[in-house]
Structure 1
Amino acid sequence: MISESKIIVRYQETDQMGIAHHSVYPVWFEVARTDFIKKLGITYSEIEKMGVMLPLTEVTCKYYKGTRYEDELTVTARVLSVSPSRMTFGYQVFLPGEKRPVSEGTTSHGFVDSGTFRAMNLKKRFPKLYQDLFDSIELRDAGG
């Protein structure tokens, strides 16, 4: 499954050159990740109420082309990998009508118990959630 989220670059997200600051791309990734989870049929807050937290363990971002104030962007999110203890999302940011992303990146997350913050085995504790995440993985086509 690939989720798409619409973002409009806000003035406060730009730097003195009028280009979206590099620091906002991970924020846009979070918007896309939250939308992705909703499209699975559950919300982040519901996952947290189950006692599962997904702390960020790594973020990457590559920038290919700048975006500017009021640009209308599409941020795609997909699960790249999932194991019983962690998962990785992949993201791409597109300008309208362009096939090549202006940016792409990843975030990696661990599954931890919200009470103890100890790592948990999601597959054992919440097998349906684990399976839904696992089943959402799509392989990129050869051109992608």
Structure 2
Amino acid sequence: MHSHEISIRVRYGETDQMGVVYHGNYPQYLEMGRVEWLRALGISYAEMEETGYILPVTAIRIEYKKPAVYDQLITIRTRLRNIPTVRISFDFEIEGDNGEILATAQTDLAFLNSKTRRPVRCPDYILDKLQTLLT
């Protein structure tokens, strides 16, 4: 499935006294990966919300393998797990500047109508963009 990667430098405020990234910051890294994955597909979160869709996280799983540290350049690799329906699921790898895998993760999100907060199917314009990648 379609994948995308971004690199960021760990900021001081994301770390604890030992200079290690606090575990609660990893979901923000995953969100950055998802937002940029969508942007690379030609979809902005803001535009999606303007058209009446929101994407709350329904499940998240993170496996920490090695610590990310202050000032380290990390790469967040985001991959779509399967063609979305009412849910969209992603797999992630966070890699250090030395090529080591620091963490792996999975997230599931649900497409909701922003007014009713009820589940809806993935918008056709997203499916259409995904189809162009797969053909």
Q: TM-score, normalised by structure 2?
A: 0.90
The residue number in structure 1 matching 2:108 is 108
DSSP-derived class of the 2:104 partner: strand
**Aligned-residue offset at 1:133:** 4.0
User: Could you tell me whether the CA contact under 8 Å between 1:82 and 1:134 is conserved in 2?
Assistant: no
**Aligned-residue offset at 1:121:** 1.8
Q: Distance in 1 between matches of 2:101 and 2:132?
A: 25
**Aligned-residue offset at 1:67:** 1.2
The residue number in structure 1 matching 2:41 is 40
- Structural mapping, 1:80-91, within 5 Å: 80-91=81-92
- Structural mapping, 1:11-50, within 5 Å: 11-50=12-51
The residue number in structure 2 matching 1:128 is 125
Q: Distance in 1 between matches of 2:110 and 2:61?
A: 16
Letter in 2 for 1:112: L
Q: Distance in 2 between matches of 1:64 and 1:83?
A: 28
User: Could you tell me whether the CA contact under 8 Å between 1:79 and 1:136 is conserved in 2?
Assistant: no
**Aligned-residue offset at 1:14:** 0.8
- After superposing the two structures, state which structure 1 stretch, 74-83 or 42-51, moved more: 74-83
Letter in 1 for 2:120: M
The residue number in structure 2 matching 1:62 is 63
| Cα offsets for 1:68-107 (capped at 9, x unmatched) | 1000011111111233210111111111241x41101011
**Aligned-residue offset at 1:134:** 6.2
Structure 1 unaligned residues grouped into runs of 5+: 138-144
Q: Describe the shift of the 1:56–1:135 C-alpha distance in structure 2 as closer, same or farther (beyond 3 A).
A: farther
Name the % identity.
Answer: 29
| Cα offsets for 1:36-89 (capped at 9, x unmatched) | 000001100011111111111011100110111000011111111233210111
User: Could you tell me whether the CA contact under 8 Å between 1:8 and 1:70 is conserved in 2?
Assistant: yes
